[in-house]
Amino acid sequence: MPDELTIAGDRVPVTAEASQAAPDRTRPRRMLWKAGTSARAAGGTGTGRAPRIMVLDGLRLLAALSVVLFHFLAGYGTIPWQRTAGELFPALHRIAQFGWLGVAFFFMISGFVICMSGWGKSLGHFWQGRVLRLFPLYWAAVVLSSAAARLGPHVPGEPKVTFGQMLTNLTMLNEPLGVHHIDNVYWTLWVELRFYLLFSLVVLLGSGYRRVATFCWVWALGSVMAPASGIPLLEQLLMPRWAPFFIAGIAFYLVRRAGRLEAETVGILALSWLLMQHRLPEIMAGEGHGINWKVCLTAVTAMYLVMGLIALGKLDRIQWRWLPVAGAISYPLYLVHQSLGVRVIWRWNEQWGAWPTLLGVIAGLVLLSWLLHRVVERPLTRLLRRAMGSPGGQPQKLVA
């Protein structure tokens, strides 16, 4: 759904807090920005590496779990229970209907993190980081999901998976090639890739407040005009439905980097929110979510508020040790939960009972996600990094 929700989860250390160095308001605005960002990029006060924004790791896991509950209990798409989820889990079913909003939160977090991780990078280093972060686990998930589809319990209504379909899915470009996803959750990765392609313009030209802010304005306005242009490629690139979430995340990183709300970033956030509320009914209808628009709008507005607190450093004190692990397992959990979890539920829920099945499957998927991170992602990323090197010939340390 994709973040790095990226639906893909990106894990990066945060720059030092702007609050550690109050700006001199008598200096020109541009010079203030340049001086402030240089100090933060260098580590702020010189006390060492800046702390990680651990709360983002926890929010990624929360978003992933909300998508898991949506697919298991909301009753859309493949239904893994012999009886309806509304009968088995009446209260949880009503809550799970809104779990798809975790995808929107993934996209907002991705805008924040990709702007942060791409700041000051060369285009080669930026894409190397994206490939190393996204593909090793994705390849493993495609193989696992394909094997489960061919060898595991068959869920009614599920199409067969061919070997050619699996190979095409490995590129992550199967959607524009007209090949169905092995797992429906992969559609968010194609959204993420298009966001990376757009943000490559910023990386190529060089990161800076003015360039990033201009990028947000142009993308927001372009996403409004794209549907009326009659050019399908333009609409594909500018993604009118999802652009407001990415733009909001980028703007929140600008707030984080400046250490305060600026009039321009407030304007970008306000425009993104207004565009979001306009697109929300379209998203709900397109994804088949026949639920209350006001509740969805309230939930997304709460996401804006939480990201605002993070941008202003108000949640930096949350440094629980388990949060980096939560961030590490969120991506593999998102990738494999539907293709594997639905089959287990369908096959054994009547023997085990509803609640033991639900809790057991989620616990098993969390454990599997941790194993995929440790046993697959880490070694495969090291091998891929060595194979890729860096554009300048030196190994590039992965920041993701």
- pLDDT, position 263: 94
Nearest residue to 138 via CA among 33, 4, 285:
4
The vertex-274 CA angle with 33 and 219, nearest 5°, equals: 55
Which residues touch 160 (CB under 8 Å, ≥6 apart)?
Answer: 149, 150
Radius of gyration of the chain (CA): 21
Q: Where do the structural domains in the chain lie, given as residue ranges?
A: 18-388
- Whether residue 12 is predicted with pLDDT greater than 70 in this model: the reply is no
State whether residue 2 is helix, strand or coil. coil
Q: How many CB atoms lie within 10 A of CB 62?
A: 13
At which residue do the structure tokens 């293709």 appear?
339
Percent of the chain whose predicted confidence (pLDDT) is above 70: 82
- pLDDT, position 289: 67
pLDDT tens digits, one per residue of 64-109: 999 999 999 986 555 688 888 888 999 998 899 899 999 999 999 9
State whether residue 13 is helix, strand or coil. strand
- pLDDT, position 18: 38
The listed range with the strongest mean pLDDT (22-31, 35-44, 359-368) is 359-368
Nearest residue to 220 via CA among 194, 254, 244, 248:
244
250/19: higher pLDDT: 250
Tokens of 334: 């998102």
d(CA 122, CA 206): 8
Tokens of 203: 């990386």
pLDDT tens digits, one per residue of 346-397: 999 989 999 999 999 999 999 999 999 999 999 999 999 999 875 433 433 3
d(CA 42, CA 70): 42
pLDDT tens digits, one per residue of 277-293: 999 998 888 766 667 88
Q: What is the pTM of this model?
A: 0.85
pLDDT tens digits, one per residue of 160-215: 899 999 999 999 999 999 999 999 999 999 999 999 999 999 999 988 999 999 99
Residue 13: pLDDT band with limits 50, 70, 90: very low
Are the beta carbons of 105 and 60 closer than 8 angstroms? Answer: no
Nearest residue to 257 via CA among 42, 27, 15, 49:
15
Are the beta carbons of 4 and 249 closer than 8 angstroms? Answer: no
As a whole number, the mean pLDDT across the chain is 84
Question: Side chain identity at 383, as an amino acid letter?
Answer: L
- pLDDT, position 215: 97
Are the beta carbons of 209 and 254 closer than 8 angstroms? Answer: yes
Are the beta carbons of 301 and 148 closer than 8 angstroms? Answer: no
- Whether residue 243 is predicted with pLDDT greater than 50 in this model: the reply is yes
d(CA 358, CA 142): 23
- Whether residue 39 is predicted with pLDDT greater than 90 in this model: the reply is no
Are the beta carbons of 132 and 381 closer than 8 angstroms? Answer: yes
- Whether residue 24 is predicted with pLDDT greater than 70 in this model: the reply is no
- pLDDT, position 180: 94
Question: Side chain identity at 300, as an amino acid letter?
Answer: V
- pLDDT, position 250: 98
